Structure 1
Amino acid sequence: MNTNNIYRDVTMDSLSEANVGQNVKIAGWIENIRDHGGVSFIDLRDMYGVMQVVMRDTSLLEGLSKEDCISVEGPIEHRDEETYNPKIPTGTIELEAKKVEVLGKVYKQLPFEIITSKETREDVRLKYRYLDLRNPKVKDNMIFRSKVISYLRQKMVDMGFLEIQTPILCASSPEGARDYIVPSRKFKGKFYALPQAPQQYKQLLMVSGFDKYFQIAPCFRDEDARADRSPGEFYQLDFEMSFATQEDVFRVGEEVLADTFNKFAPEGYEVTQAPFPIISYKESMLKYGTDKPDLRNPLEIIDVTDFFQRCTFKPFHGKTVRAIVINQKLSKGQHEKLLKFAQSIGMGGLGYLEVLEDGSYKGPIDKFIPEDMKEEIREMASLKALDTIFFIADNEKNASLYAGQIRTALGERLDLIDKKSYKFCYINDFPMYEYDTEAKKMIFTHNPFSMPQGGLEALETKNPEDILAYQYDIVCNGVELSSGAVRNHDMRIMVKAFEIAGYTEDDLKEKFGALYNAFQFGAPPHAGMAPGVDRMIMLLREEENIREIIPFPMNGNAQDLMCGAPGEVTEQQLREVHIKVRA
């Protein structure tokens, strides 16, 4: 007990039947008031728990209301057995109030009941987030977040990584998402940017001779919100290693994530153990229709393009055709709903075949498959009696995309997804470039600082669209948790790589001057990645919206409703940074 504190001797979590007979002082917020005439009860809540306070002197209740912050002093006693509350650790004891002091009074009507705040409209919750955070469920998410970050930090230190903080005010980068820019007072017309990631700084640390770096890094991107993406800012476990290959990074990433998920996953959940499966981008797009596959869904897509070019079904001629097999027969209603879904995502229709008990086929495409080819499709798709096979046909890009969405829809509608597991994989071998039809030029598909597979020779001799990069993602349950790459540390390769994307060497000097210069002073090979902390916690807490695990999130429109950001500033503030707002 802390008898020196004027507000409380103990917190709720340290009280038990061992304290019966002791006089203690506790402090917290009034969660509930029950006035039974001659005797009154309040439930007093602090960060650590709830304690029932009994007031036999009912005058002590005068003027008190829900969520008042108070200090109460009195003896701890046993509750009557019929009033035990097994839902809370202090459910067999109570404090009899002898003295009450109001520390913080509620002067306005509460905008919502604290205990049911998660059922309140989000805009109201975010405006009064400090009240929303009093809700034990919301508060527990923040405590959980703190524990995960603390564990990640200790894990990285134990693995020999050095924590180093990189700047928040930096130079604007032309690549990636939209920057948040900050005007300079001292240099008229010039701007800082908030870092989208510590990309250049962490590479420069490797050039500086630091072997293994990490930080829990704040990142800032002016992009729209999604359920798994917070607008404005987010945190990532950023790490980089010198003298490292892709496989070295894989070993670190999978150890950190497997250990973290093993420790913090809900009870009974299965976690993929290291080594994680490695799936190439090309294979992932074919088998799952996405580069973020949810491996909890057992369905796989197969390519039947060649088969249908030899059939008489003309709508499939000249198109990429994908197929998905399910081991059951659907009802007419299920088929109709699936067709409606297919049309809602832009598909013209959804062809299918059902395998009858005698092995024959039934369905709108059956008559277009020659008899001598029916055994071929059976073997190709491993079809059995009562299976159903769906067909998706379009250009290659759309066929992959649509097949991936149909795969997900089937997995969800047929309850095939293993809800009690975290299934990880690496996706690697991403294309280095893609052709931008609007800009009519080659652009980088991912991080422009990645090492091309095959080095300078590949850049000089291959079609740019055929060049793969040493780039990789970690995906968990269909969510991209991390991206990373082996970095391009060779000046000659970097100049050529940027030249293909339309940058001159002078552009490189101007836009990425620090790296361009640093790489001329003996840069080591280096590689790294950056798992997203917010997404990690969102998955572990089984929250569908990322805002539920962020202490003070912006709303989906990138507004801080609580503090009023973005807001206006004074004319004087604008003048100091040489800014004039255009009408």
Structure 2
Amino acid sequence: MRSHFCGLVDESMIGQTVVLCGWADVARDLGGVCFIDLRDHEGIVQVVAEPAGTEGNAEVVAAAQKVGYEDCLRITGIVRARHAVNAKIRTGKVEVVATRIEVLNKAEPLPFHAHENAGEDIRLKYRYLDLRRPEMQKMMRTRIRLVQALRRWLDARGFQDIETPILTKATPEGARDFLVPARMHPGEFYALPQSPQLFKQILMVAGFDRYYQIARCFRDEALRADRQLEFTQLDMEFAWVREQDVQDAVEQMIREVFREVIGVELAEPFPRMTWAEAMRRYGSDKPDLRIGLELADVADLVKDCQFGVFTAAANDPHGRVAALRIPGGATLSRKQIDEYAAHAAKFGAKGLAYAKIDAGGAVTSPIAKFFDGDGFAALLQATGIGNGDIVFFGAGAYNAVSDFMGALRLKAGRDFGLVQEGWKPLWVTDFPMFEWDEEAQRYVALHHPFTAPAVDDIADLKANARTAVSRGYDMVLNGNEIGGGSIRIHRPDMQSAVFELLGIGREEAEAKFGFLLDALRFGAPPHGGIAFGIDRIAALMAGTESIRDVIAFPKTTTAQCLMTGAPSPVPEAQLSEVHVAVKPPLR
């Protein structure tokens, strides 16, 4: 139907007849001479319809005058040099003088204009129109180039692209599974994979050595800007490796892909930090190193003060009292300080203390009265506070304080313009093996139950489970975890011991993971891997904060597809075929 793409018409074609297809981005009638900006996925070219007696004719002008916004057109015309060059577009030195205009499909009035900032709900309801916008086309094509670059890198290095099942066994650990009723097995269910984790480990046992897959994964969990019910990850696994082998390979991959796709040079090598150091300094296991603010531990200075919240945490071996100094923060009003406290409360804070020093050196703090002698002055000195600054204090359980103070650090960095330009990659290593779940009164795996501990001795692991370190590692970029992996457990006795520590008994382990335990008994090699979030990396490359902008058909934060109306009720007859009955929700 066409000879060229709109956005690729250039000076080399002057004098040629071209046939173009696209949408009317703009249509203007200037007293008998009509201009149409014709757009396709490659860009825009200006089309001119001129009256009879020049290079056009009255019939073409009449057709142009009827063209509406987003009409689907096929235009034949002759390329000529443009009198008024438009340097903002690639085709700005040429235009096409129309000799024929065909309306292939008339567009009804649109619910929103491509160049307006429409609300996300209406954009998602009419996603096909949203995706037609040049801004969205650019972001989606960034994602496409990312995936192409990853595949080229992996294929060139002998990685094998192997598909793993979408219908698999339910093995809930962490997020909820999506369940699929099995029609031929009444009362039984498949699960959609949260990741290909067990299958890729079994591929290493099977001798495939280097595996990858651009895998679709599913987790029935709460949504936010960087989470979706279904998402895409680059899944990788290596046999006969240690941590450094995996990290060196994928760091090179990410560095080369960023260079190819968006022309960015990442640090070489990436800096490294243990989980413990990241939590201590930044209150996060995915610290944004573009923000220079750091937490300071001040428990030793408040153990004997009269403020019970501080003393309780300072004298608890699992407690923490941390301080965050914000340069220039003394300008915050009491109302704004309360807003910071409310923000910290969203992340678990039960209160937030502060002290500030104005430009003249006057100190304001509601907690100063709880200190005797020079105690408060020593505390302020330890935080590094100066004239014009504010310092916030958090106290409580170590991880809880780290979480809400880390969130406060990010907010302060954004609010006070302390986020540096550029890219700050990081390896976070030496994660805890387990977390203690107070509610369930058992350990849970920090990464997943198949991550190897740093110790090889089972007795040592059991005796020191609370402080055990795993062989897990995450790649972080600008405060986003873009990849997470580990060396896996390859010995069946160690895997059984980890299941036991997680409260998974022998019978339950056999029922859920018997196939894995069997595989490990037949000469499983040492192996490890990593998975990268394609959606998150694409969003970072495209410069958007929401992964929904780089997913063609995402769900809303209420887990709905506004375009199709999913999820939706299913007819009773269809439910009966799969032996499922629906109970009405409890009111």
TM-score exceeds 0.5: yes
Pair 1:14-2:8 in alignment: yes
Q: Residues 353 and 366 of structure 1 are in contact (CA less than 8 Å); yes or no, is this contact kept in structure 2?
A: no
**2:413 alignment counterpart:** 411
Partner SS for 2:35: strand
Partner SS for 2:330: coil
Find the aligned partners of 2:299 and 2:121 in 1 and give their Cα distance. Answer: 49
Displacement, 1:201?
A: 0.6
Cα RMSD over matched residues?
2.5
1:352 to 355, 366, 369: 355
Amino acid at match of 1:492: D
Q: Residues 70 and 101 of structure 1 are in contact (CA less than 8 Å); yes or no, is this contact kept in structure 2?
A: yes
Distance 1:410 1:556, change over 3 A: closer
Displacement, 1:450?
A: 0.9
1:391-402 to 2 correspondences below 5 Å = 391-402=393-404
Partner SS for 2:101: strand
Amino acid at match of 1:18: S
1:207-286 to 2 correspondences below 5 Å = 207-230=205-228, 232-265=229-262, 272-286=266-280
Q: Write the deviation string for residues 222-244 of structure 1: whole angstroms up to 9, x where unpaired.
A: 112101112x2111111011111
Q: Residues 356 and 362 of structure 1 are in contact (CA less than 8 Å); yes or no, is this contact kept in structure 2?
A: no
Displacement, 1:529?
A: 0.8
Partner SS for 1:114: coil
Find the aligned partners of 1:88 and 1:428 in 2 and give their Cα distance. Answer: 46
Q: Residues 453 and 467 of structure 1 are in contact (CA less than 8 Å); yes or no, is this contact kept in structure 2?
A: yes
Pair 1:292-2:289 in alignment: no
Find the aligned partners of 2:340 and 2:383 in 1 and give their Cα distance. Answer: 24
Amino acid at match of 1:109: P
Amino acid at match of 2:247: F
Find the aligned partners of 2:260 and 2:560 in 1 and give their Cα distance. Answer: 34
Find the aligned partners of 1:84 and 1:149 in 2 and give their Cα distance. Answer: 36
Displacement, 1:581?
A: 2.6
Amino acid at match of 1:481: I
**1:338 alignment counterpart:** 337
Amino acid at match of 2:336: K
Partner SS for 2:554: coil
| Unaligned ranges ≥5, structure 2 | 51-57, 314-319
Find the aligned partners of 1:69 and 1:357 in 2 and give their Cα distance. Answer: 66
Find the aligned partners of 1:62 and 1:306 in 2 and give their Cα distance. Answer: 79
Partner SS for 1:318: helix
Q: Write the deviation string for residues 402-452 of structure 1: whole angstroms up to 9, x where unpaired.
A: 32233223222221111x222121222222222222222223232001111
Q: Residues 452 and 458 of structure 1 are in contact (CA less than 8 Å); yes or no, is this contact kept in structure 2?
A: no
Q: Residues 452 and 488 of structure 2 are in contact (CA less than 8 Å); yes or no, is this contact kept in structure 1?
A: yes
Q: Which moved more, 1:345-354 or 1:32-41?
A: 345-354
Displacement, 1:376?
A: 5.9
Q: Residues 145 and 261 of structure 2 are in contact (CA less than 8 Å); yes or no, is this contact kept in structure 1?
A: no
Q: Write the deviation string for residues 314-369 of structure 1: whole angstroms up to 9, x where unpaired.
A: 552222311223444623x44652344124524434232549889x9775555665
Find the aligned partners of 1:322 and 1:23 in 2 and give their Cα distance. Answer: 71
Q: Residues 456 and 496 of structure 1 are in contact (CA less than 8 Å); yes or no, is this contact kept in structure 2?
A: no
Q: Residues 458 and 467 of structure 1 are in contact (CA less than 8 Å); yes or no, is this contact kept in structure 2?
A: no
Pair 1:44-2:38 in alignment: yes
Length, aligned pairs only: 565
Amino acid at match of 1:341: Y
**1:154 alignment counterpart:** 152
**1:74 alignment counterpart:** 77
Find the aligned partners of 1:495 and 1:130 in 2 and give their Cα distance. Answer: 50
Pair 1:88-2:85 in alignment: no
Pair 1:197-2:206 in alignment: no
Q: Which moved more, 1:92-101 or 1:524-533?
A: 92-101
**1:165 alignment counterpart:** 163
Q: Residues 353 and 366 of structure 2 are in contact (CA less than 8 Å); yes or no, is this contact kept in structure 1?
A: no
Q: Which moved more, 1:496-505 or 1:461-470?
A: 461-470
Displacement, 1:261?
A: 2.7
Amino acid at match of 1:452: P
Amino acid at match of 2:252: E
Pair 1:127-2:125 in alignment: yes
Amino acid at match of 1:551: A
**1:564 alignment counterpart:** 565
**2:322 alignment counterpart:** 322
Partner SS for 1:468: coil
Pair 1:64-2:39 in alignment: no
Amino acid at match of 2:248: R
1:21-36 to 2 correspondences below 5 Å = 21-36=15-30
Find the aligned partners of 2:458 and 2:4 in 1 and give their Cα distance. Answer: 69
1:136-147 to 2 correspondences below 5 Å = 136-147=134-145
Displacement, 1:43?
A: 1.4
Find the aligned partners of 2:564 and 2:509 in 1 and give their Cα distance. Answer: 40
Amino acid at match of 1:413: D
Displacement, 1:574?
A: 2.2
Partner SS for 1:102: strand
| Unaligned ranges ≥5, structure 1 | 1-6
Q: Write the deviation string for residues 197-228 of structure 1: whole angstroms up to 9, x where unpaired.
A: 00011000000011111111111111121011
Q: Which moved more, 1:241-250 or 1:435-444?
A: 435-444
Find the aligned partners of 2:210 and 2:32 in 1 and give their Cα distance. Answer: 67
Q: Which moved more, 1:434-443 or 1:187-196?
A: 434-443
Amino acid at match of 1:27: C
Find the aligned partners of 2:38 and 2:329 in 1 and give their Cα distance. Answer: 57
Find the aligned partners of 1:287 and 1:387 in 2 and give their Cα distance. Answer: 19
Q: Residues 353 and 364 of structure 1 are in contact (CA less than 8 Å); yes or no, is this contact kept in structure 2?
A: no
Sequence identity percentage: 39
Q: Residues 215 and 239 of structure 1 are in contact (CA less than 8 Å); yes or no, is this contact kept in structure 2?
A: yes
Partner SS for 1:98: strand
Displacement, 1:398?
A: 3.0
Displacement, 1:576?
A: 2.5
Amino acid at match of 1:507: E
Amino acid at match of 2:221: E
Distance 1:366 1:18, change over 3 A: same
Distance 1:521 1:100, change over 3 A: same
Distance 1:99 1:485, change over 3 A: same
Displacement, 1:296?
A: 0.9
Displacement, 1:513?
A: 2.1
Pair 1:113-2:113 in alignment: yes
Displacement, 1:36?
A: 2.1
**1:462 alignment counterpart:** 463
Amino acid at match of 1:12: C
Displacement, 1:395?
A: 3.2
Partner SS for 1:85: coil
Distance 1:447 1:324, change over 3 A: same
Find the aligned partners of 1:340 and 1:38 in 2 and give their Cα distance. Answer: 59
Displacement, 1:531?
A: 1.1
2:48 to 44, 54, 61: 54
Amino acid at match of 1:64: V
Distance 1:140 1:386, change over 3 A: closer
Partner SS for 1:111: coil
